Amino acid sequence: MAKLDDSKTKIKSNESRKYFYFAVFVLIVLIASVFAFVASKTDFSPEIALIPIHGEIGIDDSADPVEITKLMEKAEKSPSVKAIILDIDSPGGAVVASKQIADVVKGAKKPTVALIRDVGASGALWIATSADKVVADYSSITGSIGVSASYLSFEKLMEKYGITYNRLVTGDYKDLGTPYRELKPEEKEKLMGQINFIKEQFVTAVAENRNLSKDFVENLSDGSIWLGYEAKNYGIVDVLGGEKEAKELAESLANVTNAKIVRYEREKSITELLTGSESSFAYWFGKGFGSEFLKVKQNLAIDA
C-alpha cells in the first residue's frame, strides 16, 4: 500500500512540473509577443534635432540664449539624435546673447547645420557661421556684418519748452548716452572704440568659422545685407536650398540615412500664444534696419 501511495505522489509531482513548465512557456510567449508588438510600433530611425532660433536674439526675447542652450544640451544628450539643424529666422539682436549661442553651436559634439529661412542677418549670421555647414534660400536675407549703437537726443526739444537737464554725476562718463544732452566728441570716440572692438570680434569669428581671410570678411563688414545666392558667392553659405537640403547635409555629416526630423521647441508663454511674434514685420531689413521698431529698450543699445 505504501508503494502505491509513493507511485501516486510521483505521478502528481510530475503533472505539477508539467503544468509549471507549461505556464512558464506561456508567460515567455506572452512577454515575447508584447516586446514584438512594441518593437513593431516603435520607430528606431536616427533623429535630427531641429532647433528654432526665431525673432530677436537676447535674454527674455524670442531667441533667448538660455533656452536655446537648454535645447542644444538636450539634443546633445539624446542617443537617438545624430545631428542638429539650427532653424534660423532672425534679424540678430544683443551682442553677448548672439555670441553665447554661437559659442554653444561651435562647441557642439554632434554635426550641426544652420538653415537660414527668410532672414539670418547680423547676430543670427554670426550664429549660422558657427555651424559646420550653412544652408540658405536663394532669396534669404543674410549679411549685415557689423555693430550698431543708437540713442535718442531730446536736448533741442527740451530747449524749446524751457526744460533744463541738471547734471549730477560722479564720473565724466556716468551719463553717457543720456537723451537729455548731446554726446561730447570724446564720448563719441570712446563709444566708437567699444563698437569697433565688438565688430572686430564679429569679423574674426566669421572669418575663422568660414575659413576665410580676415581682410576679406573685413571688406564685407560694411553692414550691407545680401541675398542667399550672394552669400554663397562670398563663401558664407555652403548650399542653396531649404529644409530638404539641410536634412540631406545633416545626414551626410552624421553618416546616417532615412533620419527623421524632431522639432525641439521651448514652451511658449500664454502671452506669446495669444499675441504671436512682435518682430516678424522687421525681418525684411535685417538687424541694422528693423530692430529699432521691435520694442522699447534702454536708451543706448548696442546690437549685432
Q: 19-33, 61-75, 134-148: which has the minimum mean pLDDT?
A: 19-33
Q: What is the mean pLDDT of residues 43-52?
A: 89
pLDDT: is 10 or 209 the higher one? 209
* Span 174-231, pLDDT tens digits: 888 788 888 889 988 888 998 999 999 999 999 999 999 999 999 999 999 999 999 9
Which amino acid belongs to residue 24? V
With cell 570724446, the residue in question is 186
The CA distance from 53 to 62, in Å, is 8
Stated pTM of the model? 0.75
Cβ-contact 141, 292 below 8 angstroms = no
As a whole number, the mean pLDDT across the chain is: 83
C-alpha cell at 245: 537640403
The CA distance from 101 to 287, in Å, is 17
Cβ-contact 301, 93 below 8 angstroms = no
- Identify the DSSP state of 106: H
Yes or no: domain 47-145+223-303 corresponds to CATH 3.90.226.10: yes
Among 107, 151, 148, 150, smallest CA distance to 130 is for 107
Distance of CA 257 to the CA centre of its chain: 24
β-pairing verdict for 148-150 and 301-303:
antiparallel
Among 77, 50, 53, 72, smallest CA distance to 63 is for 53
Element (H, E) at 54: strand 47-54
Distant-in-sequence, close-in-space partners of 110: CB < 8 Å, separation ≥ 6: 75, 76, 81, 82, 83, 84, 254
Q: 106-110, 266-270, 294-298: which has the minimum mean pLDDT?
A: 294-298
Q: What is the pLDDT of residue 283?
A: 41
Residue 122 falls in the annotated catalytic set: yes
Catalytic: which of 90, 122, 221, 291?
122
With a cut of 80, say whether residue 244 has pLDDT above it. yes
Catalytic: which of 12, 174, 184, 295?
174
Give the domain ranges of the chain.
47-145+223-303
Residue 75: count other Cβ atoms within 10 Å of its Cβ: 24
With cell 536616427, the residue in question is 46
Phi-psi region of 106 (alpha: psi -120 to 50; beta: other; left: phi over 0): alpha
Residue 167: count other Cβ atoms within 10 Å of its Cβ: 10
Q: 10-24, 28-42, 277-291: which has the minimum mean pLDDT?
A: 277-291
Distance of CA 196 to the CA centre of its chain: 26
Q: For a pLDDT cut of 90, what percent of the chain falls above it?
A: 55
The CA distance from 161 to 154, in Å, is 11
Cβ-contact 91, 267 below 8 angstroms = no
